[in-house]
Structure 1
Amino acid sequence: MSIRPMVSALTRHRASVVILVLEIALTFAVVSNAFALIMQRVARLQLRTGLDDGSHLVYVNTAGTDRPDVGAIYATILDALQRIPGVLSAAAVNTVPFGPREGTAGFDLDSAGTHFGRVADFYYGAPGYLHVMGVRLIAGREFDSSAYRGFKVMPPSGGVIISQKLATLLWPGRNALGRSIWLGKEHHYQIIGIAASVLRPDPGYAGIEDAYDSLFLPAELGAPQTGSYVLRTDPARRQAVLHAAYAAIQRIDPRLVVDRDSSGSITDLRRAFEKNNRIMIGLLGGVIVALMLVTGLGIMGLTGFWVQQRTRQIGVRRALGARRVDILRYFQTENLLLATAGIALGCAAAIGINVWLMAHYAVPRLPVMYLPLGALLLWGLGQLAVLGPALRAARVAPTVAMRAA
């Protein structure tokens, strides 16, 4: 089938052809990026904390205090929390997976700062916090009791435990034990242990490939952000333990502000995180469906209009020997040309939208695989939408040409 007659026929409807091609291009660009965003959200829903059993953990987040006897206050609170029925153990920490970001920092792999490592999240807490959280050490050793010291911003130089996935990213194929990282020129840490990969506090803050960029440091009770607590509990008593913890903290220090929005069981914190992702998946899915529906109806309407205008031409072709399948194939091929033009334009638009999203919303680069997938989807949509009008055109009888004459 020659393409030239089709192009010639389409040039008689320049305005509608341009509108349809632009509509397909816009749909392709938005759908490709929306699909990529949906898959990123789905991947985040599948993240695991890396803790031995997150269902046992309850987190209580406080705003901290600037009182000079802060260490004594935190110790009193910790003792009270450990006495709550249903609490198996407790420790002071800065945060937990799905909790607030309290230790995000970039680090270098050399003292001169010429070899940047990553932007990671540092967990730190008072003695026992690794065991309470359920961090599993797979190589090296834990912190000595003397390592738990006070500090102003970040723990002083010393040992650090690194998440296995982060160690693999930094030193692929090599042993991370004994290597060093620097936070500026003041903080130098040597890796003394490797832990099973633990999810960073806010996995939505970075890409999926960065979700396990976590390190662990020791901190003296009373250091900044150690006024938050993680409790290992009987899972059946988590809510009762949480409310008892609120009451205990308010009883000991009424001026200490408990952030209840970011407190709760790890399971509840995860559920809140997943809720936001599920809402976004639903919204993006709705956008995709709406755009596909509008585009499909646009293709169907314009093709139906063209069939009506070409009724006599179709009748002449039928009288000259064209079969019904030839008429059907003609309109399907014509639509394929229009869809291909729209997709080609949409590729540039999709990349442009992604670049804008990367610049303003830290969205990851659009994977190339979504472009051919989007193309297949739009080609399929076009063929499905044109099928009805094309079948109607194929049913035009040869006598129509004679009656029109």
Structure 2
Amino acid sequence: MSEIKPILSALTRSKTGAILLVMQIAITLALVSNAMSIVADRAEKINQTTGYDEQGIISYTLLTYDKDTDIPKQFKEDIRQLKALDGVIDALAVSSIPLSRSGGSRTLSTDPEEHSGKTADSGYIRANHHVIGALGLTINEGRDFAQSDVIYGRDGDYPSVGIVSREVADKLFGKGNGLNETVYSGDDAFKIIGIIDTLKSQWPRSKMGNSLIFLPIEEALTYQKFIVKTTPQKRAQVIKQIEPLLLDLDRGRVVMNIKGLDTSKADTYAGDTLMIRMLIAIVVFLVIITALGIFGLTHFNISKRTKQIGTRRALGARKSTIFKYFLLENLLVTALGVVIGGVGALVLGRELMGHYSVPPLETSAVLITAMMMLLMSFIAVYSPARRAANISPSVATRSI
């Protein structure tokens, strides 16, 4: 610790460089800690379990423009032919595709008078009794749809039963409840016969991300979406076969947006993925610039003090003493920057949380970033400090 006073004296004599480096370290710490907190939050959301068999599901859309086509009959033939393909397990029409950012939503209530009971907004998917199995979902409470539950066409009666996500049931009836309860939506009502714990809606990034209901309604429309359940190993092969097969069966239509469910998920989270990449690039850039700043300042100080270093060596100072001197000098500068940056990081985190949809910055994240900054500064100063320690006393005393 006897070195601290001369170090402070030396930094005071060339304070401009030290102050700039402290500011650089502080700004880097504040930005990096908040950026990495956002990256961790976005990555966690992207990697959340959706409940679906993402690797085994294909979705596509059919637009039938031939007015002479008997659409219900044609769809039955389509599904029969699709199921005959190698690797296909099931196929059916649905009102919307999970994770696709497109579909319908409804306000659900525990009371026929919406404003009198508890309410919850939820996405919905209409499909026949095969939908739960085709999507690879698991019913945790209650039962699956039976064929007798299915209503055919929009003009039929409203179905008497439905399957909901756990979040919908919890919002309406309290945590752990909801099975066999009646849910109201406008003039319609259905009984909850099944609850699925892990289930993402069409909009996984929204407030309705975990709110979804399935209604046993089978439709055959001119603009209709479908899902095809396959074995993961055969999915790529089946994707190539779908369009030729369907157009061979009926040329009076267009087949669109054939893709795997994992691709739909990737498209939905494309903005988050881009943000993660940009923030990581910014973090790497800032860390490199800061490391170069530490390296440059230390190198400059060594060049400026060559004669002084040589004099100390001539007076008996060991190489390890010179090496430790510059490590300690760098540690003091970095520590001051880390302290200022830590406070700045927490202030910036609160501001970001207040103005944008970002999670609160944890103190642990700031501490981890601070440790990384200290490690980075040690690595950056190691080579210049070794160079200073290796200065020969005879060479140093001849320098000007």
TM, length-normalised to structure 1:
0.75
Partner residue of 1:362?
357
Amino acid at match of 2:322: I
Deviation, structure 1 residue 385: 0.7
- Percent of aligned positions that are identical: 28
1:140 and 1:177 in contact (8 A); partners too: yes
Matched, 1:216 2:218: no
Question: 2:361, 2:222 → 1: CA distance?
Answer: 37
Residues 356 and 123 of structure 1: is their aligned pair in 2 closer, same or farther, counting only changes over 3 Å?
farther
Alignment of 1:167-246 (within 5 A): 174-178=176-180, 191-203=192-204, 205-206=205-206, 213-218=210-215, 220-222=217-219, 227-233=224-230, 235=234, 237-244=237-244
Structure 2 partner of 1:11: 12
Residue aligning to 1:269: 264
Higher mean displacement: 305-314 or 227-236:
227-236
| Conserved 8 A contact 1:143-1:218 | no
- Relative distance call for 1:121 and 1:249 in structure 2 (3 A) is farther
Does residue 39 (structure 1) correspond to residue 46 (structure 2)? The answer is no
Q: How does 1:5-404 map to 2 (within 5 A)?
A: 5-44=6-45, 46-51=47-52, 53-61=53-61, 75-84=72-81, 85-86=84-85, 88-103=89-104, 112=115, 121-143=123-145, 145=148, 148=151, 159-164=161-166, 174-178=176-180, 191-203=192-204, 205-206=205-206, 213-218=210-215, 220-222=217-219, 227-233=224-230, 235=234, 237-244=237-244, 247=247, 251-252=251-252, 254=253, 259-260=256-257, 263-270=258-265, 281-319=276-314, 321-351=316-346, 353-355=348-350, 358=353, 362-398=357-393, 403=398
Q: Distance in 1 between matches of 2:307 and 2:220?
A: 86
Larger displacement relative to structure 2 (19-28 or 292-301)? 19-28
1:96 Cα offset (Å): 3.1
Amino acid at match of 1:89: D
CA shift at 1:10, angstroms? 1.9
Gaps of 5+ in 1: none
CA positional deviation for 1:366: 3.4
Q: Distance in 2 between matches of 1:91 and 1:101?
A: 18
Distance 2:24 2:106 in 1: 44
Letter in 2 for 1:130: I
Rounded to whole Å, the distance in 2 between the matches of 1:312 and 1:105 is 79
Whole-Å separation in 1 of the counterparts to 2:309 and 2:174: 66
SS at match of 1:227: strand
How far 1:121 sits from its partner (Å)?
3.8
Q: How far off its partner does 1:309 sit?
A: 1.8
Provide the alpha-carbon RMSD of the alignment: 4.4
Letter in 2 for 1:129: V
Q: Report the CA distance between 1:243 and its aligned residue.
A: 0.9
1:60 Cα shift?
1.5
What's the offset of the Cα at 1:377? 0.9
**CA apart distance, 1:80:** 3.6
How far, CA to CA, are the matches of 1:357 and 1:245 in structure 2?
52
What is the CA-CA distance between 1:191 and the residue it aligns to?
3.6
Deviation at 1:374, TM superposition (A): 0.9
Q: Deviations over 1:248-284 (max 9, x none)?
A: 79745x4xx7652xx4232443565687766655444
Amino acid at match of 1:174: G
Structure 2, unmatched stretches of 5+, are none
Change (3 A) 1:251 1:127: farther
8 Å Cα contact 2:323/2:386 also seen in 1: yes
Does the 8 A contact of 2:151 with 2:158 survive in 1?
no
Contact 2:149 2:161 in 1 (8 A): no
Once the 2 structures are TM-superposed, how far is the Cα of residue 297 of structure 1 from its aligned partner?
Answer: 1.0
For the Cα contact (< 8 Å) 2:91–2:228, is it kept in 1? Answer: yes
The answer on whether the counterparts of 1:77 and 1:248 sit within 8 Å (CA) in structure 2 is no
TM-score by length of 2: 0.75
Number of equivalenced pairs: 388
SS at match of 1:201: coil
- SS of 1:384's equivalent in the other structure is helix
User: AA paired with 2:383?
Assistant: G
Q: Is the 8 A contact 1:59 1:231 kept in 2?
A: yes
In structure 2, relative to structure 1, the CA distance for the partners of 1:46 and 1:76 (3 Å cut) is same
